[in-house]
Amino acid sequence: MAIAVVLGGGAIAEAKECGGDVACACGDSVRGAATLDVDLTGCTAGLRVKSGATLDCAGHALLAAPLDAAEGIVVEGTAATVRNCTVAGFKTGIRVRAGGGSTIEDNDVVDSGRYGIELASATTRNVLRRNLVTGSGDEGIHVGSGADDNLVADNEITRSKRENLYMLDVSGCRIEGNVLRGASAAAMYVKHSSNNVFVDNDVADRPIQLRGESNDNVFTGNELDGVGFVLQAYKDAKRGWKAPRGNQVHGGTVRGVPTCFRFDGASYNVADGVATSGCKAMTQKKSGGLSPVGNHVETIRVP
């Protein structure tokens, strides 16, 4: 059944299924394969990409109407692909909801009101690759509760008003080769998230922060410039006070920050082979009644 959608300039159009020979307009649902040949502007509703569908914007843009356009692209179901899109001005630029196995690649997500890209409703096994996410009003990439086993690789995430990358209660994710700059809070905020891997990321301006029950994560070869690692106890109503434990940092660099590693109530975390310049190896303090014990940091001092 077609649904009426208000387009930019007050025009009314019927939302439909698009793809193949049927061109897409604001509010449509993509089935099969769809390639845009024009920009979609003034959208109060974006596009919905169904299971198995491919949306290739071919460099064209989805541009939100000035007021309250919620989501630019919503991926629903499994094994969908979104590529080569510029998505600007929506509350959430690209939202992957439930299902899994989808690929979000080579997109520019600009000036989102809340999240640039969101993995929601326990979606799993997705690939976010080579996207530019910039100017988000809250978080650049949000990996929500239960969104396990996702790959976030080779993205550039910049100028988020809160965190560039936020991971909440997830496991099994691989965060690799990303560039993170200019967040107002943390570059990476890892909360109640365990058994994730972080490899060869380039981080500046704000720290990598682990909070609460974030255990057994592994960081390898990450380059931190002007920031360090902060591992902190955290209290919430469900878990009480919890602090990161058993995390490992191997290699990489930390430079230009007063303290390389801060352990606030966190215990049994290990760092080795980290090249450091201009920073004290670590500080420890009690937090939330939890004493930091068993932390071990070995650094290699470089000029």
Listed by start position, the domains of the chain span: 12-204, 207-303
A 10 A CB-CB count for 286 gives 11
The tokens describing 252, both together, are 């990489």
| pLDDT digit string, tens, across residues 35-64 | 999 999 999 999 999 999 999 999 999 999
Residue 27 near residue 49 (C-beta atoms within 8 A): no
Question: How does strand 234-236 pair with strand 240-242?
Answer: antiparallel
pLDDT at 15: 86
The residues facing 88 across adjacent strands are 63, 110
| pLDDT digit string, tens, across residues 58-97 | 999 999 998 768 999 999 999 999 999 999 999 999 999 9
| Low-confidence spans in the chain with pLDDT less than 50 | 1-12
Residues 6+ apart with CB under 8 A from 1: none
CATH class name, domain 12-204 = mainly beta
Q: What is the DSSP code (8-state) at residue 122?
A: T
pLDDT at 284: 98
Residues 6+ apart with CB under 8 A from 10: none
Name the E strands within 57-182.
Answer: 61-64, 71-78, 81-83, 86-88, 92-100, 103-105, 108-110, 115-120, 127-129, 132-134, 139-143, 151-153, 156-158, 165-168, 174-176, 179-181
Across 39-51, b (16+ Cβ under 10 Å) vs e yields ebbbbbbbbbbbe
pLDDT at 288: 96
Closest CA to 2 of 15, 17, 20, 19: 15
